[in-house]
Amino acid sequence: MKSNIFLVGLMGSGKTTIGRILARRLGLRFVDSDHEIESRTGATIPWIFEIEGEASFRQREAEVIGDLTAQPGIVLATGGGAILDAHSRAFLKERGTVIYLRANVASIIARTSHDKNRPLLQTADPSQLLEKMAEQREPYYLEVADLVIETGRPNVQSMVQTILAQLQAKPGCAASAKPSMSESSKLLLNVDLGERSYPVAIGPSLLGQDPLLLRHVAGGKVAIVTNTTVAPLYLAALRAPLDAAGKEVIEIVLPDGEEYKNWASLMQIFDALLANKC
């Protein structure tokens, strides 16, 4: 069981911001490797780069990554270049679930344009430098990543929800190891319509309760009707127990918005059901 979550990605991709929220949501401790280096050395990252050079910084960084990844129950935001070291990559892969936050260069420039604490960006053309950096590091990020998250979501909370949903659907990681909810900790209501009666369950994290879901799923096929806003947040978590139970899942993803609650969307649902012989 991997109890740690490690965030990798280019500088300015949101690792620290997202990491803090993830740690709070999962009840884990948040650690930032750059902050840990500054705490141990009593010097800032720009100072270490300027006085000792990048090679010395990378050596310090590798030592910190080795120490931090050995600790249990943490969300670790790594420095953008941490994956350049082979030993660090091995530690990240072996000791936790690695999430690669993939950001485009334009968004990184927008976030970091006034940040003087990023020594590698103190150049005449930071955009060109970032493009080169992204090209060099992408294979390493993908090598260690268990999940790849595009950071172009509408907001940070939306990204966090996407990450949590994908973590819940992934066996063996911290987020999927939560104990099952007891029957007494959720509210069950029955909508009494005779032969068409059905239950309504109210409670937290119900999508992760496999027995509760599968109990009400008959047959070998399941159609999930959702929209383009909700699907990235919860579809993976909902599919996971259905796939594991051998169900054939048909995804019907509609555009979001009141204007799409119409006959055309209803026909799209019917067409998908008929095409899949549901």
Identify the helix (H) or strand (E) that includes residue 190.
strand 187-191
Q: The pTM is what? A: 0.61
Mean pLDDT within 51-66: 94
Q: What is the pLDDT of residue 12?
A: 85
| Residue 211, pLDDT above cutoff 80 | no
pLDDT band at 147, cuts 50/70/90?
Answer: very high
Q: What is the pLDDT of residue 102?
A: 92
Q: What is the pLDDT of residue 191?
A: 78
Alpha helix (H) residue ranges in the chain: 15-26, 33-41, 45-52, 54-69, 86-95, 105-112, 126-144, 156-168, 210-214, 231-244, 263-275
Mean pLDDT within 269-274: 94
Q: What is the pLDDT of residue 232?
A: 85
Query: Residue 32's CB: how many other CB atoms inside 10 A?
Result: 20
Q: What is the pLDDT of residue 271?
A: 94
| Residue 132, pLDDT above cutoff 50 | yes
99 DSSP β-pair partners = 7, 147
How far apart CA 33 and CA 73 sit, in angstroms, is 15
Quote the tokens at residue 211.
Answer: 């027995």
**In this structure, what are the phi and psi dihedrals at residue 22, rounded to the nearest 5 degrees?**
-60, -45
- Secondary structure (3-state) at 114: coil
Q: Name the least confident of 4-18, 44-58, 63-77, 215-229.
A: 215-229
Q: Tens digit of pLDDT for each residue in 81-120?
A: 999 999 999 999 999 999 999 988 888 877 665 555 555 5
Higher-confidence residue: 267 or 155? Answer: 267
Compute the radius of gyration of the chain from its Cα atoms. 23
Residue ranges of domains in the chain, CATH in brackets: 5-176 (3.40.50.300), 217-275 (no CATH)
Closest CA to 153 of 165, 145, 140, 141: 165
Mean pLDDT within 57-72: 95
Q: What is the pLDDT of residue 180?
A: 40
How far apart CA 268 and CA 264 sit, in angstroms, is 6
98 DSSP β-pair partners = 6
Q: What is the pLDDT of residue 158?
A: 79
β-bridge pairing 198-202 and 187-191: antiparallel
Do 60 and 51 meet the contact criterion of CB atoms below 8 Å apart?
no
Q: Tens digit of pLDDT for each residue in 238-247?
A: 888 888 888 9
